[in-house]
Structure formats: C-alpha cells, structure tokens
Amino acid sequence: MRDPLFDYTLRLGDDALILGQKLSTWCGHAPCLEVDLGLSSLALDLVGQGTDWLELAGRVEGAGRDADALAFKRTADQFQNCLLVEQANGDFAQTLARQFLFSNWQYLMLEALSAAADKQIAGIAGRSVRDVAYHVDFSRDWMIRLGDGACLSHQRLVKSLEMMSRYVDELFFMDEVDEAMQSRGVGVDKATLRPDYDARIAAVLDEAGLTVPQPQTPLIGKRRVHGDDVRQLEEMQFNTRNGDVRWGF
C-alpha cells in the first residue's frame, strides 16, 4: 500500500500544473495586452508550484521519479487533478470564472497547509500562498470589471459561472487520502474552508452585480477520471515523447 502523502502531494501538483498549462495557451491570444501578461504570470506561478509539489511527491514515492518524470511521463488516467482546472479555456469570461472559483479555494487551502505539521508541505504552501493572493486579486478585479460592464460581458460571465460552479463541490470533497492526511495532522479538513470560501465568492459577485450560481447537478470526479480536455496532454508532453528533455526550473 503506497503512502497517501504521495497521492496528496501529487494532487496539489497536478491541480497547479494542469491549470498552469491551460493558462499558458492564452499567451499571445488574450483579448488585450494587460490580460495576456496577467494570465502568463499566473501560468508561470502555477507551473512553478506544480514543480515544487511534484518534486516532493517524487521524493515521497522513492521510485526515482522527479517532477519532470511525473509531469511528462504519465498518461491522462494517472493524473489526479480536480475537474475544475481541466475545463476548457473557452472565451476570457470562461477562463476568468474558472480562475476565480479555483484561486479562492487554492488560497484558503494553501493558507491552511502553511501550518501543517509536515515542514516540507508547510514550506511549499507558505511560498505558494503569496503568489495565489495575487491570483485572487487579479480574478476579483476582472470579475467586477466584466460583471459590472457591458451587457454582453455580463451575460458571458453569468453563463461561465453557471458552467464552472458545477465543479466547486469537488474541491471540498474528502476521500480516504484526505482523511488519512488529516489524521496525521498534515492534511486539511476541507469542509471547514467552505463557509469562508462561500463568503468570499458571494462578496465579489455582489460587488460585480452578479448572483451566486446554484448548479443543480454538481460534478465530483474520481481524481483519475477525466474529460477530453485533460486528455489533450500531447502538447505539453510532445518534446519528452520525442526526446529526453527537462523543464529547466
């Protein structure tokens, strides 16, 4: 039986890596230079976080795999990211809704993990939460600008929030890995984060002139069952499949 700490750190790394990869594809294609630079910055932060978490996962596993091997030499069904981060970019409103919902959760999660009994986890979380605070501010500002803006941008954001909010419940779902880590004093009881999360989301949506979406069919994945978007890993893994390369971080 493998150490649940491996799966726990792998999940944190996969969440960051997959979302960072998604955001990186906006580079040169965003609706304006401000957004292009902002999303590129977020992508770099997330890939850096993914590197840290996957390096730790590799050390915990003890099988000789480092962050590069875990990023580039796993198949889609071996990734354990949440469903939210793998959703398609769509237009900017869709990307923004995904980022807004995830960043607020990630901030609370990393803030809690920065006090973990495991010093390695606490260290990575403590460094990462400072970056994610900017991600929260970036998405908040744009939520207000689009939500309180023209009719078309408002409508697109409403539609995108309704679609992305279906994946929020999964962020707070506790399975056997989460429970094992919590019992060690390392993991987070994610249910305790929900009231603060809901309050943060509601406050921004109210300022943006939006209402909190109420999805009728929340979607909770099984951490290894993914949609078509996460299966499109070939672009990220292309060079490794055609030669032995490294990230170089």
pLDDT per residue as tens digits for the range 200-227: 999 999 999 999 988 767 677 656 556 6
**Residue 247 domain-assigned?**
no
**Residue 15 domain-assigned?**
yes
CB–CB of 113/188 below 8 Å? yes
Q: What pLDDT was estimated at residue 28?
A: 86
**Residue 14 domain-assigned?**
yes
Q: What's the total number of domains in the chain?
A: 1
**Residue 20 domain-assigned?**
yes
**Residue 31 domain-assigned?**
yes
pTM above 0.75, yes or no: yes
- Give me the chain's average pLDDT, please: 89
Question: CB under 8 Å to 155, separation ≥6 — which residues?
Answer: none
pLDDT per residue as tens digits for the range 226-244: 666 665 665 666 555 555 6
pLDDT per residue as tens digits for the range 102-126: 999 999 999 999 999 999 999 999 9
User: How many angstroms separate the first and last alpha carbons of the chain?
Assistant: 32
Question: CB under 8 Å to 181, separation ≥6 — which residues?
Answer: 4, 5, 8, 187
Best mean pLDDT range from 7-16, 21-30, 238-247: 7-16
% pLDDT > 70, the chain? 86
**Residue 39 domain-assigned?**
yes
Question: What is the token pair recorded at 10?
Answer: 């792998």
Could you list the residue range(s) of the whole structural domain that residue 23 is in? 4-241
Q: What pLDDT was estimated at residue 34?
A: 86
**Residue 246 domain-assigned?**
no
**Residue 181 domain-assigned?**
yes
CB–CB of 62/137 below 8 Å? no
CB–CB of 45/100 below 8 Å? no
Question: What is the token pair recorded at 85?
Answer: 């981060």
Kindly report the CATH number assigned to the domain that includes residue 134: 1.20.1260.10
Least confident of 2-6, 12-16, 157-161, 218-222: 218-222
